């Protein structure tokens, strides 16, 4: 379709007619992206500060991703997971190299990755913990839109429409180790948290808290699950957010920036929780050749261009500027973050 043909169509009216009213959209129809810029259907250019909600970690249409996808689509678009998939194996190898040798399972989104983590934790409970199944997550957390991940999410606004939500989940205040310990019972099998709470307002975990969670999980034979959907892929200045805290989780979930814009999720596990056997879990499209090729290109670019160091350096610079802004302007305060995950509070009384 040409630009002229694109401009002639009333995309808003067509969306209202044929698409369910799930999203509160901005009055903007985007048709092209390059680097940090996007173009709308009228040809107007914008600087993109949204980045697909933490997805376009290399910008729009990065040449490495474009080349990888273009090549793969001429070779093999889809193959069942009943067969070996070279791109999938290569991506798993790269993630293993970044995660102390963890093994991967690929899905299509962060919610699916977290669903897999919940299932794996419950199997650990059945095998090693007398059938324990309950997972403790954090207030203000966000873990997805499926029923189970909505129940794990520590925000009532995401749950109210879907009651009764699945049981087996409870929330405690973030950075409150004593509350976590008090909430632990014989039914508890795991702790699910983010190194930096993303949807909850960019709140980093205290080092004492994250390390305390790891120690508590070890003492109580619990599974520590780190949701790296937003914090992974170098956004904090390290490949994974948990690396800042000198701990290693049992299970790690990823998505968003993993393939630079191509849909993919991943659930990684260390040897302690590596319990899935054929038939326990599955996926039709997870880790398909195109998404895996894009993921390989994304990770290789992050490594080759030293983007972890760049995120750490630019994040430190930005944090210093935010601190200065908060001192100068009365309507913002509480600068915080890790790497390029930075935030301030904007007061209502401007």
**What pLDDT was estimated at residue 348?**
74
Q: How far is CA 234 from the centre of its chain?
A: 12
How many other CB atoms are found less than 10 A from the CB of residue 75?
A: 11
β-sheet bridge partners, residue 221: none
Would you say residue 1 has pLDDT above 80? no
Query: Confidence band (pLDDT; 50, 70, 90) for 9?
Result: confident
Residue 105 · residue 112 · CB < 8 Å: no
β-sheet bridge partners, residue 60: 35
**What pLDDT was estimated at residue 5?**
61
Query: Confidence band (pLDDT; 50, 70, 90) for 274?
Result: very high
Q: Compute the distance between CA of residue 171 and CA of residue 148 in angstroms, rounded to an integer.
A: 14
- Exactly one of 227, 239, 240, 250 is catalytic; which is it? 227
Q: Compute the distance between CA of residue 334 and CA of residue 37 in angstroms, rounded to an integer.
A: 29
> Is 142 one of the annotated active-site residues of the chain?
yes
Top-confidence residue, 202 or 2: 202
Nearest to 242 by CA among 220, 260, 217, 262: 217
Tell me: the pLDDT tens digits for 58-70?
999 999 999 999 9
Tell me: the pLDDT tens digits for 258-273?
999 999 999 999 999 9
Would you say residue 313 has pLDDT above 90? yes
Residues sharing a CB contact under 8 Å with residue 7, sequence separation 6 or more, in sequence order: 41, 42, 43
Query: Confidence band (pLDDT; 50, 70, 90) for 304?
Result: very high
Query: Interior CA angle at 308 toward 303 and 310, to 5°?
Result: 115
Q: Cα torsion at 237, 273, 222, 247 (round to 10°)? A: -20
Average pLDDT over the chain reads 96
Residue 216 · residue 182 · CB < 8 Å: no
Mean pLDDT on 318-343: 96
Q: Which uninterrupted H or E stretch holds 298? A: helix 289-304
Rounded to the nearest 10 degrees, the angle between the axes of helix 289-304 and helix 86-98 is 40
Helices (runs of H) and strands (runs of E) counted in the chain: 11, 14
Q: Compute the distance between CA of residue 342 and CA of residue 334 in angstroms, rounded to an integer.
A: 10
Residue 267 · residue 226 · CB < 8 Å: no
Q: What are 243's two structure tokens? A: 């690396």
Confidence (pTM): 0.95
> Is 170 one of the annotated active-site residues of the chain?
no
**What pLDDT was estimated at residue 3?**
55
- Going along the chain from its start, the domains and CATH numbers come out as 1-49 (no CATH), 65-304 (3.40.640.10), 311-350 (no CATH)
β-sheet bridge partners, residue 106: 266
Q: Compute the distance between CA of residue 350 and CA of residue 122 in angstroms, rounded to an integer.
A: 48
Alpha carbon distances (Å) from 146 to 112, 149, 227: 8, 5, 15
Place of tokens 């985007």: 30
- Exactly one of 142, 169, 209, 239 is catalytic; which is it? 142
Q: Compute the distance between CA of residue 91 and CA of residue 60 in angstroms, rounded to an integer.
A: 21
**What pLDDT was estimated at residue 4?**
56
């Amino acid at each position: 379709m040409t630009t002229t043909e694109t401009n002639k169509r009333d995309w808003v009216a067509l969306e209202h007619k044929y698409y369910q009213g799930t999203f509160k959209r901005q009055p903007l129809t985007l048709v092209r992206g390059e680097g940090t810029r996007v173009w709308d259907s009228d040809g107007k250019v914008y600087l993109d500060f949204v980045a697909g909600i933490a997805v376009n970690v290399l910008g729009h249409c990065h040449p490495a991703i474009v080349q990888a996808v273009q090549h793969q689509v001429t070779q093999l678009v889809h193959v069942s997971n009943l067969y070996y998939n070279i791109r999938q194996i290569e991506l798993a190898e790269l993630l293993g190299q970044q995660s102390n040798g963890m093994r991967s399972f690929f899905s299509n989104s962060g919610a699916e990755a977290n669903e897999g983590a919940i299932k794996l934790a419950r199997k650990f409970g059945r095998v090693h913990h007398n059938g324990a199944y309950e997972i403790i997550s954090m207030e203000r957390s966000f873990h997805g839109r499926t029923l189970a991940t909505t129940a794990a999410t520590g925000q009532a606004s995401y749950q109210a429409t879907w009651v009764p939500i699945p049981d087996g989940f409870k929330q405690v205040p973030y950075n409150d180790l004593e509350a976590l310990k008090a909430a632990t019972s014989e039914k508890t099998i795991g702790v699910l948290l983010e190194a930096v709470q993303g949807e909850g307002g960019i709140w980093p975990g205290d080092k004492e808290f994250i390390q305390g969670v790891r120690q508590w999980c070890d003492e109580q034979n619990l599974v520590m699950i780190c949701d790296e959907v937003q914090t992974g892929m170098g956004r904090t200045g390290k490949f994974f957010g948990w690396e800042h805290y000198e701990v290693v989780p049992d299970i790690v979930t990823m998505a968003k920036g993993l393939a630079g814009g191509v849909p993919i999720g991943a659930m990684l596990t260390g040897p302690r929780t590596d319990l899935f056997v054929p038939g326990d879990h599955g996926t039709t499209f997870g880790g398909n050749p195109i998404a895996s090729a894009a993921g390989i290109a994304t990770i290789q670019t992050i490594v080759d261009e030293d983007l972890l160091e760049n995120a750490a350096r630019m994040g430190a610079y930005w944090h210093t500027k935010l601190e200065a802004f908060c001192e100068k302007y009365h309507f913002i305060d509480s600068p915080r973050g890790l790497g390029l995950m930075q935030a301030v509070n904007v007061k209502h009384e401007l």
